[in-house]
Chains A and B, each alone.
Chain A
C-alpha cells in the first residue's frame, strides 16, 4: 500500500531541493563572475 502523503513529500521535496540548490548555484556563479570581471576590468583600466 503506497503512502501517498509520504510519496508526494519525497517527490516534491526532492525536486524542490534540486531546483533550489541549482538555482542558488547559478545565481552565485553569475554574481561571482560579474564581480571578478569588474575587478579585472578595473585592474586592466588602472594599468
Chain B
C-alpha cells in the first residue's frame, strides 16, 4: 500500500518482467526496425498491459464479474477472439478489399505454387504430434506455416485457444522475418542459372469482368467443397467483390481503410493480451515457436521445389524462385523474390509474377485452415 493505494510492484513476478521485456522488444523492433509495425507495436503494447499486475485489463466478462469490472482487453479477447472470433474474419474482409487478384488471374498456374507452399503446415503438424501436442494444437501450430496471421488466429481460436497468442505472434514475427528466413532456403534449393531465368515483366491484361467473376467463382467453389473455410475465404472474397464491383466505392474504401485499421488495433491488442506470463512462460512456447519456424521454412521449400518442377516443364521461361512467394506473407515474399531476381539478373522484374503465388497462398492457407476446422471444430 502506498498513500492508501494498492500498488502493482509487490505482485510483479519474474515471468511478467520477462513478458514485459519481450513486449518492449516488439515495440523497439516496430519503431526502430519497422518490422511489421502495424502488428508488432500493438501486440507488444498488449503484452505489456496484460502482464502488469492488478490492472484488471484482461478480466473477461462472465459469471462472478460485476458490472463494469471486465477489462477492455478481456472484452476484446472474449468476444473478439475466443467466443465470436469475428476479428480475424473482418481482417480477411479488409484484405480482400485491398487485394488485386489480377496477377493470379493472369497466370492461374500460380495457384499450384500457392498450394505447394502449404506443405509446411502438414509437416509441422506431424512434428507437433511427435512432440506431444494434441491434434487440435498440432493443427494450430501447423497453420503458422501458411504465414497468414488471420488464418492462424481464427483456426487457433477455435481449435486451441490456449496457444493462440503464441501461434499468432509466431506467424506475424516470421512474416516480419521473411527477408531473413526465405533467401537462404531459396539459394539452397536453386542454382544460380535457375535464379537468373528471365521472365517478361508484363502479364496479360485482365478484364474487369474477370476480376468481378473471380471472387464469386472462388467463393462458390471453395465454400461448396470446404464449408468451414467460409468465415475466411467467404469474407476475403466478399471484400474483393466490393473492390472490383466499382459500385460500392465508399464501402470498399471503408473496408480498405477505417474498418481494417480499427480491427487491426483490436486484434493485435487482443493477441498481445492473450499472452500473460503464467500461460506463456513454458517449454511448450519454445516448441511452438520452433515448429512455426520449421513450418514456414518447409512451406518456402515446398513452393520452390514445385517451382523447379514447373520450370522444367514450362514452355515459357519460368523462374523457380516464384514458388517461395506461395507462402501468404503478402507482399513481403513477393518482394523478396523480386529482390533476389534483380540481384541475379538486373533485367529481371519478377514482382508481378510473384504476386500471383503470393495471393494464391492467402487462399491456400485459408483452405488448409478450413480443412482442419472441418475435421475438428466443435
Contacts and interface: CB of A to CB of B under 8 A. Distances in A.
A15 B146 CA distance: 13
Interface residues of A, number: 27
Given A10-B135, A11-B125, A32-B213, A24 B367 contact: no
A22 B210 contact: no
B321 interface: no
B169 to A, nearest CB: 24
B303 interface: no
Interface residues of B, number: 40
Contact of B115 (A2, A18, A27, A28): A18
A30 B108 contact: yes
Interface of B is mostly: helix
Given A2-B130, A10-B375, A18-B115, A36 B209 contact: yes
Contact of B367 (A6, A11, A18): A18
22 contacts: A2-B129, A2-B130, A10-B135, A17-B226, A17-B368, A18-B118, A18-B367, A18-B371, A21-B225, A22-B112, A22-B363, A22-B367, A23-B115, A25-B111, A26-B112, A27-B108, A28-B217, A30-B108, A33-B105, A33-B108, A33-B204, A40-B207
Interface of B: 104-106, 108-112, 114-115, 118-119, 121-122, 125-126, 129-130, 135, 204, 206-207, 209-210, 213-214, 217-218, 221-222, 225-226, 360, 363-364, 367-368, 371-372, 375
8 closest Cβ contacts across the A-B interface?
A26-B111, A22-B115, A26-B108, A29-B108, A22-B111, A30-B108, A11-B122, A19-B115
